[in-house]
Amino acid sequence: MESAGTISVTPIIVALISSHGIIAVALIAIAFRIGRLPTREEHAALQKEVTSNKEELKADIANSEMRLRADIEKTRNEVLQEIRRSHQQIMLVLANHTHDDNGRAVFTLPPDVELVPAPADN
């Protein structure tokens, strides 16, 4: 039984607890947004962007590989042509030389003889 001079503190305690609960929920919601934990929509958008970036990078890598392979093949063909040209020049010079009385080689073609390069065997 309550006496006439006593104040019931139960409603005050309930009011304080409930107000703290509301403040706690509000603070959690604010921390969730400020702390930048992404929402489902934001997470889905970020995941979509990452997937798109991966696909774009894969396409860039594939294009780079194709260009690189084409450059390598072109350079390979140029090197093969140069090797064939040099080989032809050496064979021509060797076929057109003699030796003097001391055994030294005497070349009969001028040093700037250029031949038409042989076709490349790819």
Question: Could you read off the pLDDT of 19-42 as tens digits, one per residue?
Answer: 767 787 777 777 766 766 677 898
- Euclidean distance between CA atoms 5 and 73, whole angstroms: 103
Confidence (pLDDT) at 51: 94
Binning pLDDT at 50, 70 and 90, where does residue 73 land?
A: very high
Average pLDDT over the chain reads 81
Higher-scoring residue by pLDDT: 89, 6:
89
Per-residue confidence (pLDDT) for residue 114, from 0 to 100: 62
Higher local confidence (pLDDT), 86 or 18? 86
Q: How far apart are CA 93 and CA 74, in angstroms?
A: 29
